[in-house]
């Protein structure tokens, strides 16, 4: 088994994920993996970095496919004994002009951004080694969505005692209410993407508390972050930040130095802890 350190970035065949891998290839002392659901797109991304003199590695990983997650987890356990850096970057968003019914948007968006990322963490969090760093790429939209929820939901999403099961139940409730056209009555704003990112930020906080309790001496740091508004296929070409600029905060969190104790369980943007 290799003693080499390893960093894994989901959804890194393009956009912010690819820029994160590019930066890590330059700064991280260890192997850096592009992962992609589509092998062809992943290999093309690898080739684009190799052309720049970098040496990323590749593994297939579709976070919506449980078998793909378990295959990848087994690979990193076998080859590296776990992972040192995990960046959950894969995500989707319907365009504002998309006419897909909100009920469908709610189910599809929550499935990838919240439930599939949670599945990733279920399998990969136990593999994160002492001193490891976990970065979940969330969004400021999740923060503004939080502020538009009812006071009762806000209270749960800000509480220190919300469990992963309660959070997953609330996310499921949003999807079910959206399917009945009743999410407004249920206290949720009209945004599937925002709700998925509220959930991801809260999940990061829950996992940070759990690791502090269950593995207090391992020094693992878990954070959620916003990359900013970044020119990618998701956000379009009018966004102010380049993918490289969008990668700065996720990479900062991934490379927090050995022995650092903070930030942990926070939502971070522009390298600063943000109010939640």
User: Which residues are catalytically annotated?
Assistant: 193
Q: Is 230 in the site for ligand NAP (CB under 6 A)?
A: yes
Binder to ligand NAP among 8, 13, 118, 192 (CB under 6 A)? 13
The arrangement of strands across the sheet holding 272-274 comes to 57-60, 31-36, 6-9, 83-88, 128-137, 221-226, 267-269, 272-274
Binder to ligand NAP among 38, 78, 182, 190 (CB under 6 A)? 38
Give the whole-angstrom CA distance, residue 29 versus residue 5. 7
In this structure, the number of other CB atoms found within 10 A of the CB of residue 61 comes to 25
Q: Is 64 in the site for ligand NAP (CB under 6 A)?
A: yes
For the CB of residue 153, give the shortest distance to ligand NAP in the complex, in Å.
21
Q: Is 136 in the site for ligand NAP (CB under 6 A)?
A: no
Kindly state the helix (H) or strand (E) to which residue 214 belongs, with its residue range.
helix 192-214
Give the whole-angstrom CA distance, residue 45 versus residue 41. 6
Taking CB under 6 A as the binding criterion, the range among 73-81, 90-98, 161-169, 181-189 that sits at the site for ligand NAP is 90-98
Q: Is 95 in the site for ligand NAP (CB under 6 A)?
A: no
- The β-bridge relationship of strands 267-269 and 272-274 is antiparallel
Binder to ligand NAP among 37, 59, 77, 156 (CB under 6 A)? 37
Question: Which of positions 108-127 make contact with ligand NAP (CB under 6 A)?
Answer: 112, 116
In this structure, the number of other CB atoms found within 10 A of the CB of residue 102 comes to 15
Contact call for residues 179 and 239 (beta carbons, < 8 A): no
Q: Which is nearer to ligand NAP, 28 or 114 (CB)?
A: 114
Q: Is 62 in the site for ligand NAP (CB under 6 A)?
A: yes
Give the whole-angstrom CA distance, residue 172 versus residue 233. 28
Q: Which is nearer to ligand NAP, 257 or 275 (CB)?
A: 275
Question: Which of positions 165-224 make contact with ligand NAP (CB under 6 A)?
Answer: none
SS3 41: helix
* Residues forming the site for ligand NAP (CB under 6 A): 10-11, 13-17, 36-38, 41, 61-64, 89-93, 112, 116, 137, 139, 226-227, 229-230, 232-235, 239
């Amino acid at each position: 088994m290799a003693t080499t350190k390893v960093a894994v970035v989901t959804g890194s065949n393009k956009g912010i994920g690819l820029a994160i891998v590019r930066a890590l290839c330059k700064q991280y002392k260890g192997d850096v993996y592009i992962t992609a659901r589509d092998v062809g797109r992943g290999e093309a991304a690898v080739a684009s970095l190799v052309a720049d003199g970098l040496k990323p590695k590749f593994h297939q990983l579709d976070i919506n496919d449980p078998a793909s997650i378990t295959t990848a987890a087994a690979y990193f356990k076998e080859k590296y004994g776990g992972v040192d850096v995990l960046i959950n970057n894969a995500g989707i968003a319907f365009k504002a002009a998309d006419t897909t019914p909100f009920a469908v948007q709610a189910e599809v968006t929550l499935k990838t951004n919240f439930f599939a990322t949670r599945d990733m963490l279920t399998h990969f969090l136990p593999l994160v080694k002492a001193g490891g760093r976990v970065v979940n790429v969330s969004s400021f939209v999740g923060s503004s969505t939080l502020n538009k929820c009812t006071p009762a939901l806000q209270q749960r999403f800000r509480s220190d005692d919300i469990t992963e099961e309660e959070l997953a139940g609330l996310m499921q409730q949003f999807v079910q209410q959206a399917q009945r056209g009743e999410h407004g009555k249920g206290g949720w704003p009209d945004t599937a993407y925002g709700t998925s990112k509220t959930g991801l930020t809260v999940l990061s906080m829950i996992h940070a508390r759990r690791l502090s309790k269950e593995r207090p001496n391992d020094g693992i740091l878990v954070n959620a972050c916003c990359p900013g508004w970044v020119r990618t296929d998701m956000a379009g070409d009018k966004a102010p930040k380049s993918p490289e600029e969008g990668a700065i905060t996720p990479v900062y969190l991934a490379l927090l130095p050995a022995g650092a104790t903070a930030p942990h369980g926070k939502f971070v943007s522009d390298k600063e802890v943000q109010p939640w």
